[in-house]
Amino acid sequence: MSGKFNIDDLIKLSSFEVSASEKAGYEKEIDDFLKYAEIINSADCNDLTPSAHPTESSAKMRMDNQVEWDDLERILINAPVRDKSAYLVPPQKARPGEEKESASTAIIAGSHDEYEAVIGLEVHAHLKTKSKLFCSCPTEFGSEPNHNTCPVCNGHPGVLPVLNHEAVRMAILSGLALNCKINKKSVFARKNYFYPDLPKGYQISQFEEPICSGGFVEIDDNGKPLAIKLNRIHMEEDAGKMVHVGAPGIWGSKASAVDFNRTSVPLIEIVTEPDIKCAKHAKDYVIMLRSVLVQLGICDGNLEEGSLRCDANISIRKVGETKLGTKTEVKNMNSFKAIEKAIEFEIERQIVLKKTGKAIIQETRLWDENSQKTFSMRSKEESHDYRYFPDPDLLPIILDEDYIEELKEFVPEYPLKKKYTYMNIYNLSEEQSLLLINNSAFTAYFDKLVSIYKDHKNASNWFFNELISYTNDLKDIHISPENFVEFLGKIDSDEISGKIAKEVLKKSFETKRALVEIIEKDGYKQITDEKELKKMIDDVISANPAQVAEYKGGKEKLFSFFVGEMMKKTKGKANPAIVNTLLKNGLTS
């Protein structure tokens, strides 16, 4: 370090214009710095621990608390072009029209039995934390664009990420529920790529050392469990969201608005082996996986809002071959039906290319819901293109066995097992069973209902046909399972009829009042007093002598007329069974 520093070389390298006075000032600052460096370099520090180096061996974690950044304008002002709080970026260069057209290859008639599909799925699930993965910004969906942001998730210089403990807990729970090995050590890596929705220029993910390895998800295959093998579950942060201006997609848009609210929202990515053979199994896998995550309470499973997203890697090969073919990745599937349809189309498209002698290109494709086709988006990267390396700002996650064992207590019964229980024990249809296992609030309510009310058929009829027709939110419903059982008991004891019960239920949802309170205070109880009913029947018979004569003359169909007259007279409150008996006696006497 000794000797005069040549500042002219540095000025030439920087390509800046520097005045003589500025040059002298810079030269003095650098000279002073080098003198201090000489002093520090010559100091005897053999017995000192470097205070600037971390001494911990595992990652520091913070509690899952929200803290809103109070100076958003300092972030927003960096955008070169703004539309309110959204960043605008220029559109990407559109692809030639013929390249798009080549995606819609005509379907070839005839059997394709000589080919088989090989499908691997990557499912990204937003974790239901209050705050983001590496900062305390809120994670709520639907906030004003770029308002759930701060310097950390925007990648400003000098900031440091701090890991969310709750996100780690949820990731471990997912691994336990999906039969994975929970790795005692996992490492965050930087996945480097450049796109407008990635403010850091890299994504913090896990690569060589994920939090969970292996595992499987069981789906139903004609009444029998079929295991879909998993490769891994890893944690990562989400990217931002782009909304295209002037066109439904990126091609043809005038600009793209970037919203960084979603940036650094915690995700787990569940990656299968190339273990799926058909589109239906792929759809069933995502349905079952969603059910597991929702029942765990770690993801809301909303495909439309993007909190559960599925990418499909699809290739084909001749039946009997073991080598994998060239794969395409299909994105933008936001429903179970879209997953099945997109995979079916892509398999067919690849077979057509094979049969017509054209090459299958490794690329990323988008599913277009309107045309029911996939279209080319970009060439598909390999893992080495991302230049993964361990994130220097984050230490490894080190887990102990005791903590993992504690979390096993929070893993609920596997949804497929519950589905079989609902179908075999409670005689529910497959559709009803799937509805239950895909909605944790429905599951909890129905399970409590059938545990305290033994007429399971009647319970399921009222639950599916009436109760959930009024609400999808059973978590905060004003009618508890115990209240509903008491209400069903009023029907069973003939205090109210089925028709009146439906009126009571409707009124309860309109007024948010208790069912039994409405029955007892609003005059909905059935009239069961035989003396009172006999007097009314006598009045009905006396008022309709012609119909009585016809009935006695053999026109027995008129019996329903008298029942109707009684129901009018009692406003539907007469007990039907008692009315029938008393009417028959009165008309034959």
DSSP string, 94-152: PPPHHHHHTTSPPPPPS--TTEEEEEEEEEEEE---SB-SSS--B--TTPSTT-S--TT
Helix-helix angle 415-424:279-296, to 10 degrees:
100
Question: ∠ CA(154), CA(159), CA(164), 5° rounding?
Answer: 80
Strands 397-398 and 163-164: unpaired
Q: Report the CATH number of the 530-588 domain.
A: 1.10.10.410
Q: What are the helix (H) ranges across 401-497?
A: 401-407, 415-424, 430-437, 440-452, 456-462, 468-470, 481-492
DSSP letters, 334-394, are: -SHHHHHHHHHHHHHHHHHHHHTTPPPP-EEEEEETTTTEEEEEEEPPPGGGG--EE-TTS
Residue 131 backbone phi and psi in degrees, to 5: -125, 170
Joined together, the tokens standing for residue 315 give 């290739």
User: What ranges do the domains of the chain cover?
Assistant: 7-42, 72-90+100-401, 423-521, 530-588
DSSP letter at 465 equals I
**How many H-runs (helices) and E-runs (strands) does the chain carry?**
20, 21
Residue 164 backbone phi and psi in degrees, to 5: -85, 115
pLDDT value, residue 252: 67
Nearest partner of 132 among 154, 108, 100, 103, judged by Cα: 154
pLDDT value, residue 95: 45
Largest Cα span, the chain: 131
- CA dist 164 and 168 (Å) reads 7
User: Helix, strand, or coil here: 451?
Assistant: helix
* Cα atoms in the Cβ-side hemisphere of radius 13 Å centred on 314: 30
Mean pLDDT by 10 residues, the chain (589 residues): 67 74 84 83 66 62 90 74 73 46 50 87 97 96 92 92 97 98 97 90 96 97 93 97 76 80 97 96 96 94 92 94 92 93 95 92 91 84 81 95 96 93 94 91 94 95 95 88 94 84 94 92 76 84 85 83 83 77 81
pLDDT value, residue 108: 59
Is 279 in contact with 109 (CB distance < 8 Å)?
A: no
pLDDT value, residue 103: 42
pLDDT value, residue 246: 75
- Give tens-digit pLDDT for 330-385: 998 989 999 999 999 999 999 999 999 999 999 999 998 888 999 888 776 666 78
